[in-house]
Structure 1
């Protein structure tokens, strides 16, 4: 995929003098020099800026300046659906993602140019979820018992939530990615946990430089080369042994590993078969799985710890279903309250204020007559939509069984499930995006996170010290990060 050329702030689009861009109302300043100050202000006041634009232009579009581009925010479900349906040669999803995290430098050119792993996630991983559920549950149980050891004499144990959930998600995901031995390797866990952080932080730093300086900034700030060398050392024995077995046994290899590394090795062609590219691909898959899942689960854990009264109805549901059907993916699908709790946490907190980004390759005209010029980025204000009383009554209140209640009232089998995306006028849900570019790993993520929540409510008591409420999120630009708080765990007491 091509990289941006050019040399500076807003050079692609031209801040002033473009009639199409000038016709779109601005939140903040629109002149070149002052726009830069508004872009800096967005880093610290992103939510209030987006909420202001949403309230003023609810059925239309508005624009806000970023450091190196204009973001045009698409507000109404009708216009968002037009964005969703636009072809990629007009509104490019992949290019928007690449630019947002500077993936050319943080994930590597091979991943940017060829995203074949997305197809593996969407098809092979999702297709294997029923078969792999016992493995996922086994690793969740093992990871919790090792990472959150409960105290003696039923004492409460203080647990750093973000770090602990990141490790548990890393272990559980990598049980499916690289198998049971490597997923528990402390250095493999440390590598992938740190790589997830490095991609976000390095991308933010590199993104602040003008285009002509990005290659230099990438060499200075990207941690990819050292991470790749370390990852290659980890997977080399696995890859070499698997290649040997494939050559010796071929189709007769009956106990061939059923994991991401094996699927990638079987799907890769040409250069992608090299150890270097397989290592880059596994790091990328880990980044995609770990960041969103660990942050999402931390938020849900905070809601549970801050509201112990939610524990009992969740326990009753899980234990009733397991008593009848055992632990399985089908049982997990029947846990409506568990599903609703996770979906409501996503709605209430989110991972960001904006979703469904598209890079405008050709001028695009919406049905209301507004044209966005090439070089801009389109975004959808997911937080503002999810907190709109028109769609969600008492939207600023965390209501854990909001969606399970909707299911009972409406009798819908799939509409309000965690993995379902929606762009209706009644209750749009966009945490995973929508349409053909919706998150391909959301089925695996939902499976994993709901199993983790079901495990906690049946095995532990949790709370905050001194009855503290859900800690406030940190918002940097459009990124939402849960507070770094401690949660108290103890082995479950009583019924």
Structure 2
């Protein structure tokens, strides 16, 4: 009994020590950031109320700070920590040029989506699969475009039958199934990309990762390991995915071991690309390769599905003249180049429409986080101490009248008109983020454009270079929209002319999850 009492006493003492250290650390962080203006409560205890308030009012708080402290930094309290928000072109330029040893993208992502619990610690410690996205995926967009196009046609025909009468479908869930099939036609090919259970588990994993991350981040650091281990979707997803992927992976491993990497008939898919870059050893296993296929799927499905649903909502409320312009552009490009990546690259007005949709929808209130690893001083003299988090007020930036005339008005060809000006052709593409447009990220972690000429133009105009991953995403989106325009008439349920209200949680904004869109056979469909 005395030993038990001693153990409980030691455990209680140890627990109290941890809590006290956390409190002291939180006080120290608050004190270190005292020179940065605050939006919301700033007292040590009252700020925790501000963190709770942030969950429902992140957009208002970010906009308030953006308006009040333009060109400066301000801070807001999230449920688990302070977040420093920067504004103005000078600070954003400092931000994008900072090295990873000062402002770390990887560390911020690990915290934001709680990588160790949601997508696997091993993928954080060795993320070679990102190199595969940078190289092999980009190189093969043209080679595999026909397969992607074929899957779009088949997926749409099954999910949204082509009928003369209106067919009503839930937008987001339908889009996710179409995008999942299309993406996996490129990743794992037929017949697996069409298996309903495989599609379901990829979609569920995508949803579960972001849901778990949002919940885990509501807990203080001390409790995150407990919450993370309870909420992790990894074990279940890998177990289910292996039932589908293990035979294919094991056969590919055996073939590569026996014949090398250039055997006749070796599939040109994501698994082969991963094996080409695989560091071997503990990472050359069925489980690890399964986890990386799930992770790449998660990123691809989430980004494209959210964007396409936003775009579909806006497409559904456009007047006939806008739809006519978009259709005529698609038809002209296809007549000249056929269904190809080159044809999609010629769609300037569609590119503008897509970009305006995601700009208007707004994205996250605060995004593009960096973890401060070393004290970092901005050009205005503001120093952000190590251990802090820094982000950009994306929604406010995308609706700033200094950069966008009538920012709250939807102008479908806003960016096409900008591109028509001399020297502006590349800068205003959807695929090319710049200091006023950050849907795809910023700085070196927007990744590199694979076409040297585009990269040189980006550097010439001192804008952000763009990601090879987004080359696939934007081409996939254009192909999805082109097929929609040429096959269907679309409108919102009940003939609504207002874009469905998005779902907001903290600083995250997603397209409405329950809204329905109506489709019928295009009146001039051939």
Q: TM-score scaled by structure 1?
A: 0.94
Query: What does 1:36-435 correspond to in 2, within 5 Å?
Result: 36-151=48-163, 154-250=164-260, 252-269=262-279, 270-309=281-320, 310-410=322-422, 412-423=424-435, 428-435=436-443
Is 1:481 the counterpart of 2:510? The answer is yes
Return closer, same or farther for 1:13/1:456 CA change in 2, 3 Å cut-off. Answer: farther
* Alignment-derived partner of residue 485 in structure 2: 457
The separation in 2 between residues aligned to 1:445 and 1:124, in whole angstroms, is 14
Of the structure 1 ranges 103-112 and 264-273, higher mean CA displacement relative to structure 2 is found in 264-273
The separation in 2 between residues aligned to 1:10 and 1:343, in whole angstroms, is 43
Secondary structure of 1:412's counterpart equals coil
Secondary structure of 2:407's counterpart equals coil
Cα offset, 1:20, TM superposition: 4.0
Return closer, same or farther for 1:13/1:442 CA change in 2, 3 Å cut-off. Answer: farther
Cα offset, 1:288, TM superposition: 0.7
User: Does structure 2 conserve the Cα–Cα contact (< 8 Å) formed by 1:13 and 1:374?
Assistant: no
Cα offset, 1:31, TM superposition: 1.2
Of the structure 1 ranges 159-168 and 370-379, higher mean CA displacement relative to structure 2 is found in 370-379
- Structure 1: segments with no counterpart, 5+ residues: none
* Alignment-derived partner of residue 491 in structure 1: 521
Secondary structure of 2:339's counterpart equals coil
User: Does structure 1 conserve the Cα–Cα contact (< 8 Å) formed by 2:363 and 2:395?
Assistant: no
The separation in 1 between residues aligned to 2:353 and 2:368, in whole angstroms, is 23
Of the structure 1 ranges 49-58 and 432-441, higher mean CA displacement relative to structure 2 is found in 432-441
User: Does structure 2 conserve the Cα–Cα contact (< 8 Å) formed by 1:90 and 1:364?
Assistant: yes
Return closer, same or farther for 1:18/1:473 CA change in 2, 3 Å cut-off. Answer: closer
* Alignment-derived partner of residue 455 in structure 2: none
Secondary structure of 2:45's counterpart equals helix
Cα offset, 1:377, TM superposition: 0.6
Cα offset, 1:296, TM superposition: 0.7
Cα offset, 1:344, TM superposition: 0.9
User: Does structure 2 conserve the Cα–Cα contact (< 8 Å) formed by 1:161 and 1:486?
Assistant: yes
* Alignment-derived partner of residue 22 in structure 1: 34
Larger radius of gyration: 2
User: Does structure 2 conserve the Cα–Cα contact (< 8 Å) formed by 1:7 and 1:211?
Assistant: no
User: Does structure 1 conserve the Cα–Cα contact (< 8 Å) formed by 2:329 and 2:347?
Assistant: yes
Cα offset, 1:6, TM superposition: 6.4
The separation in 2 between residues aligned to 1:10 and 1:287, in whole angstroms, is 33
Map Cα deviations across residues 393-417 of structure 1 (whole Å, 9 max, x no partner): 0110111111111112335332111
Of the structure 1 ranges 354-363 and 92-101, higher mean CA displacement relative to structure 2 is found in 354-363
1:448 to 460, 468, 476: 476
Q: TM-score scaled by structure 2?
A: 0.89
Map Cα deviations across residues 286-328 of structure 1 (whole Å, 9 max, x no partner): 1111111101100000001122422111101000111122111
Secondary structure of 1:487's counterpart equals strand
RMSD: 1.8
The separation in 1 between residues aligned to 2:470 and 2:373, in whole angstroms, is 28
- Structure 2: segments with no counterpart, 5+ residues: 1-16, 448-466
The separation in 2 between residues aligned to 1:192 and 1:172, in whole angstroms, is 13
Return closer, same or farther for 1:367/1:193 CA change in 2, 3 Å cut-off. Answer: same
